[in-house]
Amino acid sequence: MITGIVGAVFVLQYFIPHWPFSKMNAWFSDWFSIVAAFAIWLGALNLMKISAQKVVGRKEDWGYALVIIFSFLLIVIPGFAGGQGYREAGTFFSWLYEWAYTPLSSTMFAILAFFVASASYRAFRARNLEASLLLIAAFFVMLGRVPVGDILTGFMPVGWRLSDLASWVMNYPQAAGQRAIMIGIALGLVSTSLRIILGIERSHLGGE
Amino acid sequence: MEHIAVWVAAFLTLGIVSFLYKDNPWYKLSESIFVGISAGYWFVVLFWDNVHGKFWTGVFPPEEYDAAGNVITKDPDWMLWIGALLGILMLARLVPKFGWISRWPLAFIVGSTAGLYLINYFSSNMMRQVQGTIMPLFGMWQTDPATGEVMFQAFSTYDVVGNLVILIGTFTGLVYFFFSKEHRGVFGATAKVGIFFLMITFGASFGYTVMSRMSLLIGRVDFLFGTWLGLIK
Amino acid sequence: MSERAKEILVVGLILILSIIVYLGKVGGWIGALAFSPAVSIVVIILIFLALVWMLVRTLRGQLLDRRIVFLFVALAVVLPFFMSITQEIKISPEVQQLYDALESLPPGSKVLVSFDYDPPSAPELQPMAESFLRYCLLNDLKVIIMGLWPQGPQQADLALQAALADPRVQQKNLEYGVDYVNLGFQAGNEFVIQRMGANIESMFPRDYTGSAYRDLPLVRNVKNFSNIDYAFNLSAGYPGTQEWVQVAVDRYGLWMGAGNTAVQAPMMYAYVNAGQLEGLLGGMNGAAEFELLTGLPGKGTKYMLSQSFAHMVVIAFVIIGNAAFLTSGRKKQPLGQGK
């Protein structure tokens, strides 16, 4: 019931942006912001709970669980102790952000570059017409979006070089495909949202 | 301190990179530090920006002064208590016995998201996109601001071809997504053209993904060989 | 020697080498490495020959270990940093569109910049952020920063420091709260945008440093999006440009451009085409093109050579893989399996 009322208010306030819907919209947005924060807290605290259970029960890899708890406290303590200026330049919190959090998170994603390349070698095959089209579009874009593409097609007249072709592919056929996907997804989301608001879809509450 | 900083960052960077060779203790150590620090980071930032910055200052507004030095009193926003209550109920999940209570805030989250999505996706990703597709193909009637004369302004061949491609691509692509009817005959052929457009889209997306991933790697290489070892100008 | 001992030996060697190079850097007896144009060309030819050798090996039916592919990617990204080759960068229409929009803003216009990304996407988005902020500050545009990702305002702080370090920006004696302001982060994704459409202060009662919204002269009279002249969104996913377009642009009529990671940029072309976005910078090349247009070369331009080489190597491996696939008579995928 909560779901239905809240959802309906958000829909109604779009069509009737006046009292009481405008006020309710403001309240609900504020609440959402706070609940969202608590939801992320829940995630962090749950991680601590699981890690602590691992350490206490001396389960496999409990040493790493201890490292998780230790590094959590390492950043949380100066974060809370630092008051409102906790992340200003020069604080230990900002030091950790710049020299531990940044390299770790960036490298996590950076190594994906290697796996993308290895997957291209193993799985990217021109098996049929569709796959070949995919491959050609990828080539155009990969070459055309970096200066090397124009060096390779320097003999072509201006306007027909790889960068121009890549631009055309991105702005027209690619944009058309994206739009079809976008509309398709929107249709799906709109109908699912409607089902949720009307109470037909309730799986999010734990499957009844 | 500066030396320690770059060495710590380099140690952690190489720890993650070592995964490329194989899973090993150095990687696992770096990964655990990452998990702990990033959870802690979110925890702290959300406390100061949201729980303190929004809720606390909203419920207990601090004294503020205007340019003349007079105290501005702001009414406390009592409605925020309901948000906080819902948030605390969310934490009930941590105790298995009371986990069911978290269904209320969850219902609230799902309901608001559904309500907002319904409108947003309908207007931006559907209506506006359809509107963007059905547009003048060959030119537009425009009023000349100088003379007030209404003239037909023809598009260039480039634009006409482009607009046609957008129209055909979007239409056929949508036909492909229509699964309620068997893809046969004219309908099937149209869907086939749609697949071609979708393949070009996926190809371009793949190309861009490669581009993105490589950029991230380049950033790390710049750190290792530039900031750390000083070999890059 | 056992496998374990070999591994320890290699790690030890790398460590010793790094310490030597680091001491060299600190002591000043090892400088930056730079290949002359001739050496650069020799290096390129060597990489090319090695790739041809990989092609021959694959055609003979030997599957390359994935670590060999990794090695080539690493070489393609690292070596260009030392090469002295210049390449011409061409401007895409959507980047030009963004620049034209900025150029049309009169001095004193208020520009809202939302930083919706975290450090992993920084190599692509940080160069955009730096050159965008530098451009705004140099051209007397007032910058209001915020973030829908908690790390965003912190990245903004780093970008601001870089922009403020420019001597020409320093000459302007800009003041925090008057010429630029960082409102910080707020949780709630698109609901934050939605609420800002009616009242920005309600979502950001305090700024990044803890000062009250009303105490900041720049934003004191900024009630909602109608007081913003242009907005720029740096986005790496959700919440990001899609949400900004849906709520701020389509509902509240905000005039907006975006800088996106290459992963999500393709989707945004549909918005650019429908006129919902005024300009788009996609990935590293978008950053480099923008730097070229504004005449403020930065990291985007510096990274482009590595980007070119990395793309070439990926394409080379796709070709090698397909050559083997085609010559094997399109039988069952001979290369599909493997570890």
Q: How far is CA C283 from CA A151, B207, C7, C235, C260, in A?
A: 20, 11, 37, 10, 6
**Both C155 and C229 in a single domain?**
yes
> In this predicted structure, what is the pLDDT of residue A1?
66
In a domain, C25, yes or no: no
The closest alpha carbon to B44, from C319, A79, C331, belongs to A79
Which residue in B21, B219, B228 is closest to C123 by CB distance?
A: B219
Domain range for C50 is 32-85+302-327
- Residues A102/C223, Cβ–Cβ less than 8 Å: no
Does any CB of chain C come closer than 8 Å to the CB of residue A203?
A: no
In a domain, C216, yes or no: yes
CA dihedral C180, C182, C183, C184 (to 10 degrees): 170
Instruction: Give the tokens for residue B48.
Output: 């100061």
Residue of A nearest to B32 (CA): A68
**Both C168 and C45 in a single domain?**
no
- Residues B45/C157, Cβ–Cβ less than 8 Å: no
Which residue in A125, A146, A179 is closest to C304 by CB distance?
A: A146
In this structure, how many other beta carbons lie within 10 angstroms of the beta carbon of residue B143?
Answer: 10
Decide if pLDDT at A197 tops 80: yes
* Contact: A179, B173; criterion CB under 8 Å: yes
| Percent of chain B residues past pLDDT 90, beyond the cut | 36
User: In sequence order, what DSSP letters do the residues of chain A get, joined into one string?
Assistant: -HHHHHHHHHHHHHH--STTHHHHHHHHHHHHHHHHHHHHHHHHHHHHHHHHHHHHTT-TTHHHHHHHHHHHHHHHHHHHHTGGGTTSTTSHHHHHIIIIIHHHHHHHHHTHHHHHHHHHHHH----SHHHHHHHHHHHHHHHHTSTHHHHHTTTSPTTSSHHHHHHHHHHTHHHHHHHHHHHHHHHHHHHHHHHHHTTS--GGGT--
Instruction: Give the tokens for residue B97.
Output: 């016995």
Min Cα separation A32/chain B (Å): 7
| Percent of chain A residues past pLDDT 90, beyond the cut | 46
- Per the model's pLDDT, the better-predicted residue between A126 and C146 turns out to be C146
Separation CA B200–CA B25 (nearest Å): 42
The count of residues in chain A is 208
- Residues C126/B216, Cβ–Cβ less than 8 Å: no
In a domain, C66, yes or no: yes
Longest dimension (CA), chain C: 74
Return all residues near B1 (Cβ < 8 A) that are at least 6 apart. none
* Contact: A10, B115; criterion CB under 8 Å: yes
> In this predicted structure, what is the pLDDT of residue B4?
93
**Both C199 and C285 in a single domain?**
yes
- Residues C306/B218, Cβ–Cβ less than 8 Å: yes
**Both C271 and C222 in a single domain?**
yes
Please write the tens of the pLDDT for every residue from B54-84.
888 888 887 766 666 677 677 788 888 998 9
> In this predicted structure, what is the pLDDT of residue C331?
52
> In this predicted structure, what is the pLDDT of residue C336?
45
Residue of A nearest to C191 (CA): A29
- Residues C181/C216, Cβ–Cβ less than 8 Å: yes
**Both C129 and C222 in a single domain?**
yes
> In this predicted structure, what is the pLDDT of residue C85?
83
> In this predicted structure, what is the pLDDT of residue C291?
95
**Both C150 and C262 in a single domain?**
yes
In a domain, C2, yes or no: no
CA dihedral B84, B87, B93, B95 (to 10 degrees): -20
Please write the tens of the pLDDT for every residue from A31-46.
888 998 999 999 999 9
> In this predicted structure, what is the pLDDT of residue C73?
95
A positions 62-121 inside 8 Å of C (CB): 84-85, 87-89, 94, 97-98, 101-102, 105-106, 108-110, 113-114, 116-118, 120-121
A interface test, pick of B41, B89, B166 with most A CB neighbours within 10 Å: B41
- Residue A205: pLDDT band by 50, 70, 90 thresholds? low
> In this predicted structure, what is the pLDDT of residue C327?
82
Does any CB of chain B come closer than 8 Å to the CB of residue C67?
A: yes
Q: Residue C239, preceding bond cis, omega within 30 degrees?
A: yes
- Residues C288/C92, Cβ–Cβ less than 8 Å: no
In a domain, C128, yes or no: yes
Residue C231's SS3 state is: strand
**Both C281 and C309 in a single domain?**
no
**Both C122 and C174 in a single domain?**
yes
- Using CB atoms within 10 Å of the CB of residue B5, give its burial: 0 to 12 exposed, 13 to 18 middle, 19+ buried: middle
Place of tokens 């007249």: A157
> In this predicted structure, what is the pLDDT of residue A207?
47
Contacts of C81 in chain B (CB under 8 A): 221-222, 225-226, 231-232
CATH number reported for the structural domain that contains residue C290 in this entry: 3.40.50
What are the E-state strand segments in C117-195?
142-147, 180-185
**Both C81 and C164 in a single domain?**
no
* Contact: B212, C306; criterion CB under 8 Å: no
* Contact: B46, C150; criterion CB under 8 Å: yes
* Contact: B51, A37; criterion CB under 8 Å: yes
**The total number of structural domains that make up chain C:** 2
In a domain, C211, yes or no: yes
> In this predicted structure, what is the pLDDT of residue B201?
94
Residue C154's SS3 state is: helix
> In this predicted structure, what is the pLDDT of residue A208?
40
Per-residue pLDDT in tens (0 to 9) along chain B, 233 residues: 789 999 999 999 999 999 998 899 999 999 999 999 999 999 998 898 888 888 888 888 877 666 666 776 777 888 889 989 999 998 888 888 888 888 888 888 888 888 888 888 888 888 888 888 877 777 777 777 777 777 777 778 888 888 889 899 999 998 888 887 788 888 889 999 999 999 999 999 999 999 999 999 999 999 999 999 999 87
**DSSP classification of residue B73:** P
**Both C59 and C102 in a single domain?**
no
* Contact: B208, C263; criterion CB under 8 Å: yes
**Both C68 and C100 in a single domain?**
no
In a domain, C149, yes or no: yes
> In this predicted structure, what is the pLDDT of residue C3?
85
State which residues of chain C have pLDDT below 70. Answer: 329-339
Please write the tens of the pLDDT for every residue from B88-97.
998 888 888 8
Please write the tens of the pLDDT for every residue from A68-77.
999 999 999 9
**Both C133 and C204 in a single domain?**
yes
In a domain, C11, yes or no: no
* Contact: C194, A25; criterion CB under 8 Å: yes
* Contact: C315, A142; criterion CB under 8 Å: yes
Separation CA C74–CA C55 (nearest Å): 18
Contacts of C307 in chain A (CB under 8 A): 146
